[in-house]
Structure 1
Amino acid sequence: MGDSKTIEVSGSVMDGVGEKGGVLESPSKKQPTEYTVYPIRWLMLFIFVFNSATNAMQWIQYSIIQDAVVKYYGVTSIVVYWTSLIYMITYIPLIFPASWLLDKAGLRVTTIIGSFGTCLGAWLKVFSVPQDMFWLGFAGQTVVAVSQVFILNVPPRLAAVWFGADQVSSACSIGVFGNQLGVALGFLLPPMLVRATGSPDEMAADFRLMFYLVAGFTSVLFVFILLFFKAAPPSPPSAAADLGSSLDSNFLQSIRKLFMNRNYVLLLLSYGLNVGVFYAISTLLNQVVLTYYPGANEDAGRIGLVIVVAGMAGSVVCGLVLDRTHRFKETTLAVYVASVLGMIIFTFTLDCGIFAVVYLSSILLGFFMTGYLPVGFEFASEVTYPEPEGTTSGILNAVVQVFGIVLTLAYERMLEAWGDRWSNLTLCALLALGAAITAAIRSDLRRQAAQNKA
């Protein structure tokens, strides 16, 4: 059935189920509690990984082939960039109801909604192939963007509900890995499938193939989620999960507590700066690369792919480090400082004229900058425990979207006015500020304390 551990716990840690809403037994006396982790937890995690990937791959789908979209549909570059910005804009107002739903309805309901919206938006794009139907493609992109709200803040919650204390950080990093996998595919596939130099008929066939592939895969995955994805295991996997599930949280009160938490507010700022810079670079990567390497559309996609794949490796490595050491602040700060150094190296090698060097600097940048994503999630869960992980990560992501919108629009203006060198140095300075803010966060590991006490 699963791996079991028997732990003597006090009355404050009550028997229950992994998600809120289960029947709880009386906490009036000490009793041995058996915490079981179930093998099926890995199936739940990997179903979520693919669900997250199918959504994230559509974020950059248009902007990474910006020149092809402009040529075929006859729209402006800024309209194309709005297809990725819409992901950020819809997230901000919708994250609060989505976090409330995750807290109250649980993982299964939230995941089904996210998967259905991703599938629906992908099918709308299938019908947007005619050159006068870009508006329908944008509508489909908006539906997918709204669906992201029900996906992006799930990893720390899923990890806490299904995984034991010695695997929760690794599970969270694998959950975030799904988003990064999708972004990687978003960088890789569109430049391979859609030719910017083809005739209108050839480009129409290319767009049709790309949209059908995505719609078909999201449809299969939606059916799979309906059949197999579960809300929670029969019993909690750890003492921290047991206590968290027993607390009937008040959503508005949780939000108030989070914004009164000094460490969390500082983490919001530093996390927003780091991921906002990543969003800005990703959205405008095609334009920046083509400035120095005209016609290198596929290389622009591959550079983006390299950044994200390196980040996927960084995510897993950082998750393993956290599970082994539980040194959350030290790991967060080290990864952040390395992100600053990676951005500086990327800035000064971009125009070197040697693609191999650009790829190497992209690997370094990606490993730390996108590898930082699960580290920030897990650090937030530690300093805010026992507040719901979905609410904690949801607000974290909402702040990221604000920073992402502002920095992407500012980066575009700076590129026009100053060129890429000074624009990228400005982003380096913002990352250095984020590292300084991270250094000011106190290492208040509340979830670890609850686990150790139990």
Structure 2
Amino acid sequence: MYIKKGFNIHKSMDPISRKEEEDRELSQIFNKLTNYKVYPERWWLMATVVILNLANYAHWIAFPAVAKKAAAYYEVTGDQLDMIPTVSYAAGIPTCLLATYLVESRGLKFGIRIGSILTGLGGFLCCVGTFPGLSVYIPIHVQYWMALLGQAATGVACPFISCVPTKISLHWFPDNQRTLATTVIGMSYPLGIVVGQGLTPLIIKSPDQIPLMNIIFFIPAGIGAVLGIIKVKANTPPSPPSPSSQLCVNRKMNYIHTLKEVFTNKAFVIIFLFLGGAMSFISCLATKMEQIMCSVGYSDEMAGLTCSIVIFSGALGTVLFGVAAEKTGRMVEITKICCFGSIICLLVLSYLLLMPDVMGYIIAASVLLGVFTLGVFPLALELTVEATYPADQATVTCFIFLSSAVQGVLLMVTENWLGDPLPDKYKTIETCSMGHGVGDEESGFLEPKDYTNYLLFVVLYVTILICIYMFFFKTELRRTNANNIRKSMQIAKFRSDMDVESLIPGGMTVVRAVSPRKRLITC
């Protein structure tokens, strides 16, 4: 009997533990010999996309976060101000197909650069229109249209940036970092909402500070645009980081075939509706939160705090559920359990938002809603790739955001039809039409409404989508299975060729025992 020193396998181990330890060390050696490498450029790529998402979503949600002040500055009504975030959201709908085609045919670098340029351009239009010293030469209605066009440009940029999280994680990150990469990039959207919704009301205290808001959010947009042009240099790394990545790189993609493949996949169609609806609900909640809460007497700061708590607790949930999925491998079951919790929290929070003086309960409900709703967002994105592998990840992810945009516009526009006059008992406490301390002419730009019917519609709509997912979504983890099968086959071949290979201390002589039946070879 000989000791396999190279693999550090001990005689005292039971057969199962010895086999697992041997496979783990063989896998490490195999990765070194099969040229699977990772490159530092992946962190620049991830940082660029995160900054662009932060800039896009923060500036988009900043307008409704201070809706009264923005409406007063631009001298428009609440419905006219709502056009800014709505147009930004809707502008991504017609460009989704174009974005998926260009990213698939021209590559990751091309798509990110287009998104970077449009993000920088949109932020610049909003900033220059209200920039101190220049704004005196620009009529106020022109400033409003510049903000509208700027947000439309960032809306067009969103599909080019939003479709890349799973593509970056697959092609640039190894297996043990893939979930981390998807989580960081995926959570940059809600983190942008936190920054825009939570910090904007704390900084912008009066209508004349709206130019400051546009300057602040142009800074990350400009930085992201520069990074996207300078630091994103390749579509894929020189060598793939994993077997599943290698398979996708070698597979030629046909755009029409990809569309047919994903939309005939029952699992994808279900998650297309469910995840798009969940994302649109969060976006709609952030957009309408100030208007809903000010109608029953809450301030801008309280509305911003509520949205921020949802996102922060969601970020904590991603860590919790990410670890659970990593340990158990049961992504589908974890997401379905969270769906049940989401329904309960959604019902409770919607009821509380219609009541004054219950801020403590609203905060508690927001914490739980964030954990259950946003906590599984990165896992759900991973599931879309698992269900559709080896279809192009950019196409799959972008269609999820297309679903989100379409459903988001539907939910936002519906508010104009379902908003009823405010009951008399709330007219003395509402803060929507209050002035800002610089003149009575600033009152009335935001109309207080009764949002009971609107919230009932939203709750019913989202609950139906959640139930469809809980009862009908089933899929195998195709990417994980392909990765494991390919690696197992290659390790098995590797094991058949080499039992032991070790370096004798004190010299460069390599002793290799190929198998018990073959002679000892000394090189």
Scaled by the length of structure 1, the TM-score of the pair is 0.87
Alpha-carbon shift at residue 243 of structure 1 (Å): 0.4
Question: What is the alpha-carbon distance in structure 1 between the residues aligned to residue 399 and residue 387 of structure 2?
Answer: 14
**2:189 maps to which residue?**
179
Over residues 88-124 of structure 1, what are the superposed CA-to-partner deviations in whole Å (9 max), with x where a residue is unaligned?
3111111111112222222222222212211111111
Alpha-carbon shift at residue 261 of structure 1 (Å): 0.6
**Which of residues 168, 173, 177 is equivalent to 1:158?**
168
Alpha-carbon shift at residue 247 of structure 1 (Å): 0.6
Q: Is the 8 A contact 1:385 1:446 kept in 2?
A: yes
Alpha-carbon shift at residue 315 of structure 1 (Å): 3.0
Q: Secondary structure at the match of 1:248?
A: coil
**2:376 maps to which residue?**
372
**1:107 maps to which residue?**
108
Q: Is the 8 A contact 2:159 2:401 kept in 1?
A: no
* Paired AA for residue 431 in structure 1: V
Question: What is the alpha-carbon distance in structure 2 between the residues aligned to residue 310 and residue 408 of structure 1?
Answer: 24
Q: Is the 8 A contact 1:307 1:366 kept in 2?
A: yes
Alpha-carbon shift at residue 54 of structure 1 (Å): 1.0
Question: What is the alpha-carbon distance in structure 2 between the residues aligned to residue 320 and residue 158 of structure 1?
Answer: 21
**2:428 maps to which residue?**
none
Moved more, 214-223 or 158-167: 214-223
Q: Secondary structure at the match of 2:226?
A: helix
* Paired AA for residue 356 in structure 1: G
Tell whether 2:475 aligns with 1:443. Answer: yes
**Which of residues 378, 389, 405 is equivalent to 2:409?**
405
**2:511 maps to which residue?**
none
After superposition, the Cα gap between the structure-2 partners of 1:171 and 1:317, relative to the gap in structure 1 and judged at 3 Å, is farther
After superposition, the Cα gap between the structure-2 partners of 1:40 and 1:190, relative to the gap in structure 1 and judged at 3 Å, is same
Alpha-carbon shift at residue 38 of structure 1 (Å): 3.3
Question: What is the alpha-carbon distance in structure 2 between the residues aligned to residue 400 and residue 135 of structure 1?
Answer: 25
**Which of residues 443, 462, 486 is equivalent to 1:431?**
462
Moved more, 182-191 or 208-217: 208-217
Q: Is the 8 A contact 2:385 2:393 kept in 1?
A: yes
Alpha-carbon shift at residue 143 of structure 1 (Å): 0.9
**Which of residues 137, 157, 175 is equivalent to 2:147?**
137
Q: Is the 8 A contact 2:295 2:450 kept in 1?
A: no
Alpha-carbon shift at residue 239 of structure 1 (Å): 0.8
Superposed counterparts of 1:111-130, under 5 Å: 111-129=112-130, 130=135
Question: What is the alpha-carbon distance in structure 2 between the residues aligned to residue 112 and residue 318 of structure 1?
Answer: 33
Question: What is the alpha-carbon distance in structure 2 between the residues aligned to residue 331 and residue 411 of structure 1?
Answer: 32
Question: What is the alpha-carbon distance in structure 1 between the residues aligned to residue 454 and residue 214 of structure 2?
Answer: 34
Question: What is the alpha-carbon distance in structure 1 between the residues aligned to residue 217 and residue 465 of structure 2?
Answer: 36
Question: What is the alpha-carbon distance in structure 2 between the residues aligned to residue 40 and residue 224 of structure 1?
Answer: 12
Over residues 354-386 of structure 1, what are the superposed CA-to-partner deviations in whole Å (9 max), with x where a residue is unaligned?
322222211211222223332221111001000
Moved more, 110-119 or 384-393: 110-119
Tell whether 2:57 aligns with 1:47. Answer: no
Question: What is the alpha-carbon distance in structure 2 between the residues aligned to residue 42 and residue 338 of structure 1?
Answer: 34
* Paired AA for residue 160 in structure 1: L
After superposition, the Cα gap between the structure-2 partners of 1:446 and 1:85, relative to the gap in structure 1 and judged at 3 Å, is same
**1:23 maps to which residue?**
none
Q: Secondary structure at the match of 1:281?
A: helix
**2:95 maps to which residue?**
94
Alpha-carbon shift at residue 277 of structure 1 (Å): 2.0
Tell whether 2:353 aligns with 1:321. Answer: no
After superposition, the Cα gap between the structure-2 partners of 1:152 and 1:436, relative to the gap in structure 1 and judged at 3 Å, is same
Q: Secondary structure at the match of 2:480?
A: helix
Q: Is the 8 A contact 1:65 1:191 kept in 2?
A: yes
Q: Secondary structure at the match of 2:61?
A: coil
Moved more, 440-449 or 422-431: 422-431
Considering only CA atoms, is the larger Rg found in Structure 1 or Structure 2?
A: 2
Alpha-carbon shift at residue 352 of structure 1 (Å): 5.4
Over residues 66-86 of structure 1, what are the superposed CA-to-partner deviations in whole Å (9 max), with x where a residue is unaligned?
111222222121221121122
**2:213 maps to which residue?**
210
Q: Is the 8 A contact 2:389 2:478 kept in 1?
A: yes
Return 5+ residue gaps in structure 2 as ranges.
1-26, 422-448, 487-523
Tell whether 2:309 aligns with 1:306. Answer: yes
Tell whether 2:385 aligns with 1:381. Answer: yes
Question: What is the alpha-carbon distance in structure 1 between the residues aligned to residue 115 and residue 213 of structure 2?
Answer: 21
Question: What is the alpha-carbon distance in structure 2 between the residues aligned to residue 176 and residue 315 of structure 1?
Answer: 10
Over residues 35-73 of structure 1, what are the superposed CA-to-partner deviations in whole Å (9 max), with x where a residue is unaligned?
223344334322321121111112212111111122222
**1:85 maps to which residue?**
86
Over residues 232-260 of structure 1, what are the superposed CA-to-partner deviations in whole Å (9 max), with x where a residue is unaligned?
32211111111011111001110011111
Q: Secondary structure at the match of 1:284?
A: helix
After superposition, the Cα gap between the structure-2 partners of 1:312 and 1:242, relative to the gap in structure 1 and judged at 3 Å, is same
* Paired AA for residue 54 in structure 1: A
Alpha-carbon shift at residue 285 of structure 1 (Å): 0.5
Q: Is the 8 A contact 1:5 1:35 kept in 2?
A: no
Question: What is the alpha-carbon distance in structure 2 between the residues aligned to residue 372 and residue 68 of structure 1?
Answer: 34
* Count of residue correspondences: 421
Return 5+ residue gaps in structure 1 as ranges.
9-30, 197-202
After superposition, the Cα gap between the structure-2 partners of 1:6 and 1:265, relative to the gap in structure 1 and judged at 3 Å, is farther
* Paired AA for residue 441 in structure 1: F
Question: What is the alpha-carbon distance in structure 2 between the residues aligned to residue 332 and residue 302 of structure 1?
Answer: 26
**1:453 maps to which residue?**
485
**1:233 maps to which residue?**
237
**1:20 maps to which residue?**
none
Alpha-carbon shift at residue 7 of structure 1 (Å): 4.3
* Paired AA for residue 414 in structure 1: L
Question: What is the alpha-carbon distance in structure 1 between the residues aligned to residue 115 and residue 367 of structure 2?
Answer: 31
Question: What is the alpha-carbon distance in structure 2 between the residues aligned to residue 185 and residue 84 of structure 1?
Answer: 16
Over residues 153-196 of structure 1, what are the superposed CA-to-partner deviations in whole Å (9 max), with x where a residue is unaligned?
11111111111223322211111111121111110232223224
Q: Secondary structure at the match of 2:35?
A: strand
Q: Secondary structure at the match of 2:62?
A: coil
**1:270 maps to which residue?**
274
**1:219 maps to which residue?**
222
Alpha-carbon shift at residue 441 of structure 1 (Å): 1.2
Question: What is the alpha-carbon distance in structure 1 between the residues aligned to residue 264 and residue 393 of structure 2?
Answer: 16
Question: What is the alpha-carbon distance in structure 1 between the residues aligned to residue 122 and residue 215 of structure 2?
Answer: 12
Question: What is the alpha-carbon distance in structure 1 between the residues aligned to residue 35 and residue 261 of structure 2?
Answer: 31
Moved more, 114-123 or 164-173: 164-173
CA RMSD, aligned part only? Answer: 2.2
Q: Is the 8 A contact 1:45 1:175 kept in 2?
A: yes
Over residues 314-338 of structure 1, what are the superposed CA-to-partner deviations in whole Å (9 max), with x where a residue is unaligned?
2343333333332121122122222
Tell whether 2:450 aligns with 1:419. Answer: yes
Question: What is the alpha-carbon distance in structure 2 between the residues aligned to residue 187 and residue 155 of structure 1?
Answer: 23
**1:337 maps to which residue?**
340
Question: What is the alpha-carbon distance in structure 2 between the residues aligned to residue 188 and residue 398 of structure 1?
Answer: 26
Question: What is the alpha-carbon distance in structure 2 between the residues aligned to residue 87 and residue 368 of structure 1?
Answer: 27
* Paired AA for residue 448 in structure 1: T
Over residues 10-49 of structure 1, what are the superposed CA-to-partner deviations in whole Å (9 max), with x where a residue is unaligned?
xxxxxxxxxxxxxxxxxxxxx9623223344334322321
